[in-house]
Structure 1
Amino acid sequence: MNKVKQAAIQQINGTVYSLEFDDIYHSSSGAREQAHTVFVSGNHLPERFAALKNNQFSIFETGFGVGVNFLATAQCWYENRSNDQAHLHYVACEKFPVSSSDLNHIIQEYVFPENITKQLINQWPSLTTGYHEIRFNKESITLTLIFDDIRSATNNLTMSIDALFLDGFSPKKNPDMWQEDILMTLAKHCHAKTTLATWCVAGSVREVLTKAGFNLTREKGFGQKKHRLVGQFDRIPEDKQAIRQERYFPHISRYLKQSSVKQVGVVGGGIAGSLLTYVLTQSQINVTLFERGSHIANAASGNPAGILRPVVSKDDNILSRITRRGFFLTKQLIKELEYHSSELIAHYPGVIHLAKDHTEQITQQDIVKTRHFPTDYVTYLTGEEIKTRFQIDHPLGGLFFTQAGFINPQRLCERAIHLSSQRLTLHLNTEIQQIKQQNDKWLVFNANNEQIGEFDSLVLCLGANNLSVTEMLGLTINRGQLSLFNHPNLTAALPVLCKDGYIITLPNNQVLSGATYDHELDPNPTITNHEKNQQRLLAILGKNPLAFNSVLDRIAYRSVSRDRLPVVGELSQKGLYCIMGNASRGIVWSVLNARIIRSLITGEPQPIEKTLLDNLSPQRLFSRHI
C-alpha cells in the first residue's frame, strides 16, 4: 500500500490552500455554506434523513480534506433524522490527510456543533495507511477515513452508496481524482436511488458520469462558481440492481448484501464470540450465545493477560495491515467498554519487540526508515535507549509500539457480555453437536440431539474446537503453556517485552511469561515448558529466574490456519459464518473480525478493504482444498 504523506497546507484569504495541488480546499465565500449548498442540499439530505425508513444511510466522499463536508452532513443528520434506530455511515478517501494540530487549528474557524467537532479532533487517527474509524455514538454516526490513493481506495471499496460527494481538487490540478475508471467503479456501488453532487461541471466529468448511468442536472453554483452538478443513478430498475451487481461486479457482490436479520446464534463464548455478541447487539440484533463451559472466556480467553500490539513489515503485508486495523479498532472498543466501569480492562505501557539477532535488527531499522510510520505508532529504540529508559540490557535494540500494551481478556469478555444483556440470551454448559439449515433458518442441536435454537444467521466461534462443517478449513491445533511468577521487587512500569515469547509485567509484583508452541496436546502443564518460560526471565529481563516464585501454569490451545491468518466470513452455505483460526492473535483481531461479520449480516460498509477481506474469507481455504 502507499505510504501516507501529511498534507502541506496554508490558511490564506479565508480558505485553506494546498501546496501539493496549488489549489484551495473550499471557496473563500464560506466553507460551511459551500458544503451545505453543494453537497448537503445537492443530495437532498435534509429531506432524505427526515424520511429515512432503513436502519442505515451510507455516503462516500472522494476527498475528505479538512472535514467540512462531513461536519455539515453530521449537523444535518443530527437536526433532521427521524428514525432513532438509523445509523449514518460516512466513508471518505484522503491521500494527504492533515495533522491533528492543523485540523484542530482550522476547525475552530467553522461554526459547527461543538459535540461533533470535539469528537472529530479528539479521535483523529495516527496517519497510517488504510482504514481508520471515528465513532460518534450518541449521534449514531460512523466516519471511516481511508488514507490511501483514490484508485486503490475505490478498487477495494465494499459498500453500497446512497449519496456520492465528488470533491477532489480541480481536474486540471488533480486529474487522477476524476479519471474514467474511478468514476465508473464508484457507479458500480450505486443503486437506483443513489444521488450525486459536485462543484465540478467539466465536460469530461459530465460525459463519464452520464456514461456510468447518472442523470445529471446543472444547478446554480456557489461563490465564484457559476454552476454545480447534481445527479441520480436511476437507469437501472431497483428490482434489477442485485442482478446487475452480480453480473458486472461479482467480486464485491457478496459484500453488498442488505438483510433484515434480527436473530443471530453465536457458538462459542471466548473473546471472538463475546465481542461479536457485543458488536451485534449494538446494532439492535438479538443474539443467543452458546458456551460449552460453565462461564465465558474459559479457554485461551481466560489467560491472566494478553498482548495488544500491531505487527509491521517492510512491504506492509496482509498480516501487518489487518493487525494495524484490528489494533486501532480494539483500542477504540476497549475505551467504549471502560467508559461504563471504573475497572480497567487494558494497560498501555508500550510493547518492545526486541531484535533477536543482527539480521532482525537491520530489518527493524529498515522498516522504520522506509515505511515512515508516525512515531506515536512505532519507533526504533537502540540498545542504549532501552537501557536508559527501562534498565533492560539488550544491545540490539527493538521496535517500540508506544500505544500498545496488554489487556485482561476475561474482564474484556465479561464487560462485553454484561453490556449486551438487554438483547442477549446466554446458554452456559451447552455444547452444540450439530447444526442444520432448514427453510432459510439455521437450527442448532445439543449433545442429546435436541433442537435448542432457530436463527436467521449462525456464527461459529469455535476456538480450538470443530464441527463437521468447519473441518474442510484444514485448521491445526497447537498447545501453549504460560507461567505466572511473583517477584517482590519487580516494577510494574516496564513495557511488554517480546523476543521468542513475551514477558508481561503485571500489577502486584507479578510477571507473566509465555507462551510455548507445541504440537503435543497434553492438557497438563509440563516441567519442560515451565522451565522454558522461566528461562525467558533471564533471556529477556536479564534477571535470575531463581529469584521468582512460581504462582501458576496454564494450558490453552490455538487454532491456526495454513497461512496463519484468521478465517472470517461466510462459509459455503448462506447465513452461516465463522470466526476461527485466530492463533495467538485473538486479542488484536477479534474486534475487526466481529465487525466484518456484522457488515456481512447487515450490509453496512466493511471496516477493511476488499483485498484484505478476500484474504480472510473461508473461501480462500475451500478453493485451496479443492
Structure 2
Amino acid sequence: MKSKHAQVHFNESGTPVADHFNDVYFSNDSGIDETQHVFVAGNDLAERWQQWPNPTFVIAETGFGTGLNFLVAMRAFNEFRAANPDHPLKRLYFITTEKFPLPQQDMQRALEAFPALKDEAEALASLYPMGLEGCHRLHFDNHSTTLDLWIGDVHELLPQWHSPVNGLIDAWFLDGFAPSKNPDMWTDALFSQMARLSKTGTTFGTFTAAGIVKRGLAGVGFTIKKRNGFGRKRDMLTGVFDQDNENVQHKLRLPAGPYYRYANDSLDKTSKVAVVGSGLAAATACLALVKRGISTTLYFDGDTLASGASGNPQGGFYPQLHSEASIASRIQAHSFLYARQAYDHTIEHAKACGLADVAHDFCGVIQLSFNDKVAERQNKLAAADVWPEALIKPVDSKEVSDIANLALPYSGLYIGLGGWLSPRQLVTAMIEEALQSGKLELKPNHTYVSHEAVETTKQRVQIRFNFDSAESEEVITADHLILALGAGAVNASDFNSLSLRPVRGQVEAIPTQMPIEQLNTVLCHKGYMTPVFEGRHALGSTYVKNDLSTDVRGDETEMNLATHEQALASTDIVQALQHDGKARAATRLGSPDHQPVVGALHNFDSLKEHYTMLGVGKPLTSAPVLPSSVVSTLTCLGSRGLTTAPLMAEVLVSSLCKEPLPLSNELLNAVNTSRFMTREAIRNQG
C-alpha cells in the first residue's frame, strides 16, 4: 500500500529527470507549450468543450509525473468556465495514474519553472496526497475540477476502474516516459483497457509516434492520425475511438452483474432527490448532491439534526488499520484521508462565511500498546511497513508521553492527521453549507413511513411521511430517494433483506480534572478518551448488541470506567477520576462484515433466483445487472462513521450521476448493497 517515490535529478535546464527511466518529465524547451500542443490541442478540447452537452467531461492520463498536464488542463477548463458561465458543461474530471509519485518538494521545485501556473500549482500542493496506493480524490472547487490521482501500476489500476457499459473516458492524455525508455507501460493490456473505458468518439493525444503505439491503438478500435509533433519531434499521434469497430473486444465491456453501479438513469440538475435521515450520512449525501446542482430535500423525524449517534458532543477521528493491506484497512485509510479533506473544507467554509463553528482538534490519535497481545499486533503492523508514516507510525513511551502531555508508560501507534470533532456541530455546518447553495430544503418532524415506485414519463418514487406527531400524512414524489436512517433502518421494512447489526453505545462525559485536563491527544485502547471540550472529556464506549434503547445506564458507566482502568492499569489516572454521571447513549448500525452498505436498495430475497448461475462457477459478467432502482441507501457506518461517511456519500452520489468513482472495483464491491446476496449465490446458499 505504501508507494515508492520517484528518484529524480534536475538537468542543466532545470528540467526534472526520472533516474529510473533516464527520461525527462517534460520538454526542456517549454513544458506548458508541449502539453498545450500534444494533449489540449491534440484532443481538440477547446472545440469539444464548446459543443459538449453534458455536465461533466472526463480526461484520463497515464502518467501524472509533476502534475503539469493536469494543471494546464485545469487552467484551460477554468478559463472555459469563466467565458461560458451558462454552458451545460460544469465540471472537469481528471483521472490519472502514477506508479512512482514525486516527493512533494521535487514536484513543487519542478513546477516553479512555470510561474503562469502559480495559483494552480499552489492549489495542488495544498492537497497533494501521501504516497499511499489507490485513489486519492481531490476537489479543486475554485477551478471546477476534480482530480482522481490513482497511485500504483497502470496495468493493475485500469482494470479496477468502474465504467458504464458505454464507456467512462472522453479524452486520453497518453503520457508516460517514451516507449524506448518505459516499454512496460506501452502494452496491449494498456490499449485494451483504454478501449474498455472509452466512449464512441473518445479522443487521445500522445507525444510519441512509435509503431508499437500506433499499431496497438489501431488494433483495439482507435482511428489513428499523425500530426506535427512538438519542438524537435517531427510527429505525434492522435485518434478517435469507435466502439463498433470490429477490433473492439466487447467482452471486456461487460458489467460485473450485481456489482454494476450505473444501472439507473443519471441524476442531473433537473432531478429532485429526497434524503431521509438526520445524521452524518444524510448530511454528507445532501452536500454531495447540492454541489452537483441537484435539488435536494432532507426529511428527518425530530425538531433538530443529529438526534442519533451523530449527536455526541465529541467523536474520535481515525482509521482502523491492520498489518496487512486488507480490503477493510484500505477502505478505512482512503476514507480517512478523504474525510480529513472534507472536514478541512467544511471548517474553513464555516469560518469564511461566519457560520456556526465546528469544534475540533486535529491533535493526533495514539493507539496505546496497553498489553502484550496489543503490543505484538502493533509491532507486526510496524514491521510490515505497509502504511506511510504520514498516516501511522510507531512511537515509544517517551514520544507517547510528550504527545499526550501525560506520563504514560506505554508505546503505541500515532495517527498524526487524526483527532476529534463534534459530530453534532459538523452535521450542522455541512447542512448550513448545503443550504447556502439554494438547492437544499429542510423538512423536520417528518417520519418516514414507506415508498413505492411509480411510472410517469419516467420512473419516480412516491414517499409517505407522518408529521406533526403522526397526526397528519404527507405524500411526496421525487426522482430518487436516499435512505440514511442510521439505526432507524432496523424498523423499516425496506431493509428486511439485509442483515443489520444495531449496537448500543454509551459514552461518558467526564468533568475535566487533574491530570487529564493536560491531555493533548486522543487516547485509544479498548475504549478512548479525548482532550477537554467545554469542560468535559468523552470516555467510551460500550458495545451492546441488538439494543435500541438510549437511556443512560449506571452499569454501563461502570463498564466504561473499568475498561479504562484495565487498559491504563500501569497508571493511576482512571482510579483517581471523579465522575458526576453525565453520559449519552445512542445506537450505531453495522453489517455482518463490518463494512458500510452503499448503493441501490432492493428486496434482495426476491432477486436471488436470478443469480443461481454464480453457484455453479459462472463469472459475475454472466449474471444480470440489478434492476434500475429509485431508492438507494447509505447506512451501516457503525462506530467509524466520522471516518467513512464523506467518501461513502461521494461514491453513492457519483454513481447516481454516472461520474467516475473514487474507489477500485474491489473496494466498491466490498460496500455494495448486493454483496450479501451475491456471496450467498456464489456459495449456493438459500
- TM-score normalised over the length of structure 2: 0.86
How far has the Cα of 1:109 moved from its partner?
A: 0.6
Q: Which residue of 2 aligns with 1:201?
A: 209
Deviation at 1:391, TM superposition (A): 4.9
> How far apart, in 1, do the equivalents of 2:57 and 2:338 lie?
21
Matched, 1:339 2:357: no
2:450 to 413, 418, 434: 434
Among candidates 640, 644, 653, match of residue 589 of structure 1: 644
Name 2:129's counterpart in structure 1.
125
CA contact (8 A) 1:334 1:345 kept: no
The answer for the alignment partner of 2:219 in structure 1 is 211
1:532 aligned to 559, 584, 590, which one?
559
The superposition leaves residues 190-225 of structure 1 with CA deviations (integer Å, 9 ceiling, x where unpaired) of 111211111122222222211211101011111232
Q: 1:404 to 1:29 in 2, by over 3 A?
A: same
Query: Is the partner of 1:443 in helix, strand or coil?
Result: strand
After superposition, residues 466-505 of structure 1 pair within 5 angstroms as: 466=489, 467-489=492-514, 490-491=516-517, 493-505=519-531
Q: Which residue of 2 aligns with 1:510?
A: 536
> Which stretch has the larger CA shift, 547-556 or 431-440?
547-556
Identify the residue that residue 413 of structure 1 maps to in structure 2: 427
Whole-Å Cα distance in 1 between the matches of residues 385 and 262 of structure 2?
30
Q: Deviations over 1:242-300 (max 9, x none)?
A: x9689634468534866244111111111100111111111100111111122110010
The 2-side partners of 1:544 and 1:24 are apart by 59
1:6 and 2:2 correspond: no
Amino acid at match of 2:221: G
Structure 1 position 583, deviation (Å): 0.9
The whole-number CA distance in structure 2 between the counterparts of 1:249 and 1:623 is 15
Alignment match, 2:582: 552
Maintained 8 Å contact 2:196/2:252: no
1:110 aligns with 2:114: yes
In the superposition, relative to structure 1, how do residues 70 and 152 fare at CA in structure 2: closer, same or farther (>3 Å)? Answer: same
1:94 maps to a residue whose letter is E
> d(CA) in 1 for partners of 2:261 and 2:594?
24
After TM superposition, the structure 1 = structure 2 runs for residues 28-107 of structure 1, keeping only pairs within 5 Å, are 28-81=28-81, 82-84=84-86, 86-107=90-111
In 2, Cα distance between equivalents of 1:235 and 1:516: 56
Residues 336-393 of structure 1, C-alpha deviations (whole Å, 9 max, x = no match): 2122333234311100111243233233233233335333221101123323443545
Structure 1 pair 352–248 and aligned structure 2 pair: CA distance change class (3 A): same
Q: Is the 8 A contact 2:406 2:518 kept in 1?
A: no
- Aligned match of 1:454: 477
SS of equivalent residue, structure 1 residue 217: strand
1:321 aligned partner: 330
1:520 Cα deviation from its structure 2 partner: 5.5
C-alpha root-mean-square deviation of aligned residues, in Å? 2.3
**What does the per-residue CA deviation read over 1:84-106, in whole Å, with 9 as the maximum and x for residues that have no partner?**
56001111100111111111111
Cα gap change, 1:580 to 1:32, in 2 (>3 Å):
same
CA contact (8 A) 1:265 1:455 kept: yes
SS of the counterpart of 1:128? coil
List per-residue Cα deviations over 1:154-192 (Å, max 9, x = no partner): 011125101011111122322221121122112111111
> SS of the counterpart of 2:344?
helix
CA distance in 2, matches of 1:282, 1:492: 40
Q: For this pair of structures, how many residues does the alignment match?
A: 621
Contact kept, 8 Å, 2:203 with 2:240, in 1: the verdict is yes
Distance 1:375 1:287, change over 3 A: same
- In structure 2, the residue corresponding to 1:20 is in which secondary structure? coil
User: How far is 1:429 from its partner?
Assistant: 1.3
- Alignment-derived partner of residue 286 in structure 2: 277
Contact 2:550 2:587 in 1 (8 A): no
Whole-Å Cα distance in 2 between the matches of residues 451 and 236 of structure 1? Answer: 49
User: What is the CA-CA distance between 1:406 and the residue it aligns to?
Assistant: 0.8
1:519 maps to 2:545 = yes
- Ranges in structure 2 where 5+ consecutive residues have no aligned partner: 352-356, 603-627, 681-685
* Residues 1:31 and 1:417: Cα distance change in structure 2 (over 3 Å): same
Match of 2:401 in 1: 387
Number of the residue aligned with 1:254: 261
Contact 1:97–1:147 under 8 Å retained in 2: yes
State how far apart, in whole Å, the 2-side matches of 1:474 and 1:20 are: 50
Instruction: Say if 1:220 and 1:418 are closer, same or farther in 2 by CA, change over 3 A.
Output: same
Contact 1:6 1:96 in 2 (8 A): yes
After the TM superposition, which of the residue ranges 151-160 and 547-556 deviates more from structure 2? Answer: 547-556
Per-residue deviation at 1:455?
1.3
Q: Which moved more, 1:518-527 or 1:404-413?
A: 518-527
Instruction: Work out the percentage of aligned pairs sharing the same amino acid.
Output: 28
- The TM-score, its normalising length taken from structure 1, stands at 0.94
> 418-427 vs 559-568, which deviates more?
418-427
Residue 476 (structure 2) pairs with residue 445 (structure 1): no
Structure 1 residues 332, 517: CA separation in 2 closer, same or farther (over 3 Å shift)?
A: same
Residue 303, structure 1, aligned to residue 300, structure 2: no
Q: Residues 245 and 253 of structure 1 are in contact (CA less than 8 Å); yes or no, is this contact kept in structure 2?
A: no
Rounded to whole Å, the distance in 2 between the matches of 1:133 and 1:497 is 29
After superposition, give the CA deviation of every residue in 1:592-614 in whole Å (9 maximum; x if it has no partner): 11101111111111111111111
Q: Distance in 2 between matches of 1:410 and 1:46?
A: 45
Aligned-pair distance for 1:108? 0.5
> Quick one: which of 606, 616, 620 aligns to 2:675?
620
3-state SS of paired residue (1:48): helix
Whole-Å Cα distance in 1 between the matches of residues 256 and 387 of structure 2? 35
Change over 3 Å in CA distance of 1:245–1:41 after alignment to 2: farther
| TM-aligned CA distance change 1:288 to 1:299, over 3 Å | same
- The question of whether the paired residues in 2 share the 8 Å contact of 1:515 and 1:533 is answered with yes
Cα drift, residue 575 of structure 1: 2.6
For residue 473 of structure 1, give the secondary structure of its aligned residue in structure 2: coil
8 Å CA contact 2:9–2:16 kept in 1: the answer is yes
Q: Quick one: structure 1 residues 321 and 520, their matched pair in 2 at CA, closer, same or farther if it must change by over 3 Å?
A: closer
> Which letter does structure 1 place at the counterpart of 2:122?
K
Whole-angstrom CA distance in 2 between matches of 1:162 and 1:388: 52
Does the 8 Å CA contact 1:537/1:543 hold for their aligned counterparts?
no
